[in-house]
Amino acid sequence: MPSERLDKITALNCSVSRRDARKLIKEGRVSVNGQTVLRAETEIDTATDEITVDGVSYAIKEHIYIMMNKPAGVISASEDIKKTTVVDLVPQRLRRRSLFPAGRLDRDTTGLIIITDDGAFTHRLLSPSHHVYKRYIAKLDAPLDAGSVKRLEEGILLEDGTHCLPARVKAYEKDGEPFAQIEIREGKYHQVKRMTAACGSHVTELQRVKIGALSLDEGLAPGECREMTPEELALVFENE
């Protein structure tokens, strides 16, 4: 039985803090399967129990999934003593105690990042065996030629011996500048930057625009985020 504490579930579903959830419970405003429950630590079967708050029933959400348009200059971490993290940018109403970014983008990389409290989801997203491709748009200082594209598509061996899995690559020009669309299904340290550098093209700007079949919501300004819909969540594991 998938179980969670009542205060955690109440906080998650009513978008309130854990402390406010405990207050609601103490005030007798929360019922489980029609019975008022006053103990915050009561274990809830998230698959079958029905929770109501002030008589209104909630579909139980065990986890939260937030899409963010990461700006440059913030780090992909939960907390840091000195630097601003992506979790620092999450507004209070979406905050949970154990939020973390599902995967890392470099400090200067922008674009799509998912912030969640679901470890199993993150493991699935990051594991190369699950074939979730992440799409990056790289602005380059020199164009990738056909030979380089082929090397990247076949799986390039970096100078330090790191072997990259085959990538999907399209080189193109925009406003006279060289770009590449690169899709990889692993997340090695500085991977896209190192892959193109191995071909003699250095990344000058990098943006992630897609994870699986989920595209970055273009309505999100840099630094903005919103909760994902269940449909968007399913798109993450859909391959294109």
Q: Which of 206, 225, 228, 236 binds ligand URA (CB under 6 A)?
A: 206
135 binds ligand URA (CB under 6 A): no
For ligand URA, the closer CB: 57 or 127: 127
Residue 129 to residue 93: CA distance in whole angstroms: 35
Minimum distance from residue 206 beta carbon to ligand URA (Å): 6
Residue 98: both structure tokens together: 């154990």
For residues 73-132, which are near ligand URA according to CB under 6 A? 105-106, 109
For residues 183-202, which are near ligand URA according to CB under 6 A? 190-193
Among all chains, which residue has been given the structure tokens 């402390």?
A: 19
Active site residue 106: yes
Three-state secondary structure call for residue 25:
helix
For ligand URA, the closer CB: 19 or 83: 83
8 A C-beta contact, residue 51 and residue 31: yes
Task: Count interface residues toward ligand URA (CB under 6 A).
Answer: 9
Catalytic residue among 20, 49, 106, 217: 106
Minimum distance from residue 113 beta carbon to ligand URA (Å): 10
Minimum distance from residue 66 beta carbon to ligand URA (Å): 18
Minimum distance from residue 190 beta carbon to ligand URA (Å): 4
* DSSP-assigned states of every residue in 9-20: HHHHHHT--HHH
For ligand URA, the closer CB: 116 or 191: 191
Which amino acid type is present at position 236?
V
For ligand URA, the closer CB: 11 or 212: 212
Greatest alpha-carbon pair distance for the chain in Å reads 69
For ligand URA, the closer CB: 66 or 206: 206
Q: 135 Cβ partners below 8 Å, 6+ apart?
A: 181, 182, 183, 208, 209, 210, 211
Minimum distance from residue 186 beta carbon to ligand URA (Å): 10
CA geometry: angle at 19 spanning 13 and 24, to 5°? Answer: 65
* DSSP-assigned states of every residue in 98-146: T-EESS---TT-EEEEEEES-HHHHHHHH-GGG---EEEEEEESS---H
Read off φ and ψ for residue 222, nearest 5 degrees: -55, 130
User: Which positions are annotated as active-site residues?
Assistant: 106
Question: By the criterion CB under 6 A, which residues form the site for ligand URA?
Answer: 105-106, 109, 136, 190-193, 206
